[in-house]
Structure 1
């Protein structure tokens, strides 16, 4: 009914005028009051027709001589209309000042935190990080990268106070238990290594060499070894299997127990080493400096770096394969820790908000014209018919009320004029 209200109002006005005019011509009614009503309906018809023309002329061509060129206004003036819309959107609705004002009261950092804390969103973010990391790692084993890294390392390491920085970092990492994930990865790699057939063969060879060396120490010891071999008491394969099983058990226990004696002892030694590095102990610093100089001066440094990069690439691909690997668990844990810290740190959120808003403001100033270009491009893709249809679909129904108002206002004016005429005639 809404989109036909203009036509209905025009039909009522014209129908009322036609009925009253006919009845008056036939002498069925002759009171002056009917003349007033007839004048109202007549004026309403004129007003309704005028507004029908005005509304229709916006969207369509009306084949009436002389006035035809003033119809189909939207299509004929689409260039001006387009630029007007672009100007309105760019400089009024989405001006840099308006956007900055809207952003001012929004805690963007908090919204990002809430967004990333939702498991589904966090999973998508982690997947994106993994894809980016894998993409970046594709060229890690490129020889040119190895050469570039060699050049940079040589230059930077020769100038860097590596000992002090390493000491501070090690001390902080161990005290914060940040190294536990590294422990777990190393011990996991060690457990996998001892299960390799090559390790078993190597161990058997070493056991044979050890038995031979032991037998060569004296006649008695040689006789003992010979008897062992003769009566199959020296089963190198069984001994190797038992040693490897025990080694695997040892590594597994150490991997899952942060308080394992070996890990505790090594942590204590590393803390002492880190403290001595950080405080400038000459003997300890010399170890790092000598290692750095030997590393820089190594003849095959480029090949070493390339092999390291290739190994790192393969390891990274394995660690990024799923979210249950030690690396991904470390990343996810750190991400949630950062989110929790930010949620409780108002000042940090304010700094982030300030940075985000400043960045957005700078980008708006630099690329603000692109908003207008996007609007202009979208409008230019439409032909005249599509443009008219889209505008008419959005505002056509509301414009019908202009036609209704034209009929009503015209009718009221007609009634008022008729009443004035009657008053002067009386």
Structure 2
């Protein structure tokens, strides 16, 4: 123990002891007797309380009887502390109530926006990507994925999944976007010189078969200037223009494709045969597909790309950052999703508390059991020792007051 209260208590005992011995020669007078009685009782009170306080922690003056109370009763003390922490301070109902009161999405968003949480998430994603590429074993990953696919793919029914994806695509208008995207890409391909060359080669073969050995056809084609190159340019221009028009949502081809998609989705729902066709296709594909080899070749190619083009990793990091930012923006704007996350997190925490609340007491007891008697005494003295020293001061004061009152009563009576 250290601090001003200890020095105050020791000083009070020392001063009262000195004053007691200084007043002894004058004990025959009223004033001297009063001083002797007062300071003697204060000294005795201070000594008694010093012994009592010291006896809590150790054996004062080497006296073993009823001393060192805390070390002797450490197990009972530990049980009381464990019970207090587990059943009062961290009671199960209290923890659950606090969890229910917390606004989990607000806490998460506050952490992400105000405390740099988004940067931490991005660093974690970067670290995960780096670790995957550094430590992945293509052959082992291939075997794992193959085992998973072959064991669990049979459980997954393709037709309901495809129907759900198709219905969502139609409801959200993504079918139009997909058709427009395909039309744009096909238009870009059709506008290339390579595609025009393929058309010219195809048309040249077609003209050769058409003309054969018939001179009149050759003469007509020559007069009409139906050369493969001219025809290829004409067909290319018409095809590019047609694909550009097909980007419009009201284009007949777009309308026909959407109607056909809706009819097929309806067929998947009503005709078991249509659904079974997809299951047969899935089973045939899994039976013929070399999943291990495919995954190994894909991962080998990916690792080579990273090794040959280090900038590819930086690009993936940027894409991951964009994905994280977009995910956070969507989560912040979607109150329904926030509520779902809150419910999931709270339920997980409540289940965890139900399953492991009793571990709190075990953890507290385990930590306390690591303390030796000396460490336990030092720990408690550090927390309450200064307050206990006031007991010694109070003992001297109350003892002195009691001694003076008794002396006055006996003297006057």
Q: TM-score, normalised by structure 1?
A: 0.66
Rounded to whole Å, the distance in 2 between the matches of 1:141 and 1:151 is 15
2:40 to 39, 42, 47: 42
Rounded to whole Å, the distance in 1 between the matches of 2:402 and 2:255 is 99
The Cα offsets for residues 284-305 of structure 1, whole Å up to 9 and x where unpaired, read as 9999875664343237543258
Change beyond 3 A, Cα 1:268–1:88: farther
Q: CA offset at residue 52 of structure 1?
A: 1.0
Change beyond 3 A, Cα 1:69–1:302: farther
Q: Is the 8 A contact 2:13 2:43 kept in 1?
A: yes
Rounded to whole Å, the distance in 1 between the matches of 2:85 and 2:259 is 65
Rounded to whole Å, the distance in 2 between the matches of 1:284 and 1:295 is 18
The residue aligned with 2:323 is 330
SS of the residue corresponding to residue 102 of structure 2 reads coil
2:384 to 392, 395, 401: 395
Q: CA offset at residue 152 of structure 1?
A: 3.2
1:369 to 328, 338, 358: 358
The Cα offsets for residues 189-248 of structure 1, whole Å up to 9 and x where unpaired, read as x9xxx9xxxxx9x9999699669858967799xx9xxxxxxxxxxxxxxxxxxxxxxxxx
Q: CA offset at residue 76 of structure 1?
A: 3.0
1:80 to 44, 64, 76: 76
Decide which moves more: 259-268 or 328-337. 259-268
1:4 paired with 2:4, answer: no
Q: CA offset at residue 147 of structure 1?
A: 4.4
Q: Is the 8 A contact 2:78 2:365 kept in 1?
A: yes
How do 1:296-315 residues align onto structure 2 when only pairs under 5 Å count?
Answer: 296-298=283-285, 301-303=288-290, 307=294, 311=298, 314=302
The residue aligned with 2:227 is none
2:401 to 403, 407, 412: 412
The Cα offsets for residues 346-366 of structure 1, whole Å up to 9 and x where unpaired, read as x964x6555544443432232
Change beyond 3 A, Cα 1:112–1:145: same
SS of the residue corresponding to residue 161 of structure 1 reads helix
Decide which moves more: 380-389 or 354-363. 354-363
Rounded to whole Å, the distance in 2 between the matches of 1:292 and 1:46 is 96
Decide which moves more: 354-363 or 133-142. 133-142
Number of equivalent positions: 373
Q: TM-score, normalised by structure 2?
A: 0.67
Q: Is the 8 A contact 2:268 2:274 kept in 1?
A: no
The residue aligned with 1:157 is 157
SS of the residue corresponding to residue 9 of structure 1 reads helix
Q: CA offset at residue 124 of structure 1?
A: 1.7
Structure 2 unaligned segments of length 5 or more: list them. Answer: 212-217, 223-239, 307-311
Rounded to whole Å, the distance in 1 between the matches of 2:92 and 2:17 is 52
How do 1:219-298 residues align onto structure 2 when only pairs under 5 Å count?
Answer: 275-278=262-265, 280=267, 293-298=280-285
Rounded to whole Å, the distance in 2 between the matches of 1:40 and 1:291 is 104
1:386 paired with 2:389, answer: no
Rounded to whole Å, the distance in 2 between the matches of 1:300 and 1:104 is 50
Decide which moves more: 76-85 or 260-269. 260-269
Rounded to whole Å, the distance in 1 between the matches of 2:397 and 2:55 is 21
Rounded to whole Å, the distance in 2 between the matches of 1:168 and 1:39 is 100
Structure 1 unaligned segments of length 5 or more: list them. Answer: 195-199, 224-249, 251-258
SS of the residue corresponding to residue 404 of structure 2 reads helix
Rounded to whole Å, the distance in 1 between the matches of 2:366 and 2:51 is 31
Decide which moves more: 333-342 or 287-296. 287-296
